[in-house]
A and B are shown apart, each in its own frame.
Chain A
């Protein structure tokens, strides 16, 4: 079985594309800013309603309008001091891979995990694609065990029981 993959386009200057639209990198950075600003409406405006959302560690997969928007809303309300710090970006015109740390102190239940006012700091990588100035997909990678550990969850099949 071949494992060679198609190489995406070559050198690319991030920012605005020739057609004036924001590219994937610009949109990815703006999304992080808006989430850190607790601006869910502003974040939503960057993403197509039918964008494919894959936050598999949280069990959230589907269209942005059906799954992603609620996930961001819940994240913002559960962590009132939410902060996303971008460490690196690998990007071409259509795709940006951002490495980030998501930090915050729990202030409400999140993904079925009871609030114990614990702090999270979870390193993540998001693969974001864009077209015509809007985000068309987000696929996120992180370790849910790290999130559970920080929020006091002891068993993967009983996440509502914390200690």
Chain B
């Protein structure tokens, strides 16, 4: 299992577009991936509906956790997505 903390960089938070990009990336990996907010709420990283209901805002701290064959690569890629400004 791999786990990393990350701060939400996109200005809009995990809104529609950033959430969609995040999910698209997550779906490229076979590992089970979850995203946890520091208030304890958690979501499946491959569901944009769930992810949006987290209501993660710009500046919030999230923990990304992956478990599976490609867990390292998955966490690394998702941290990168969430650490850059929306294009």
Are A and B a genuine interacting pair, yes or no? no
Seen from chain A, the residues whose Cβ lies within 8 Å of a Cβ on chain B are none
Binding site for A on B (CB under 8 A): none
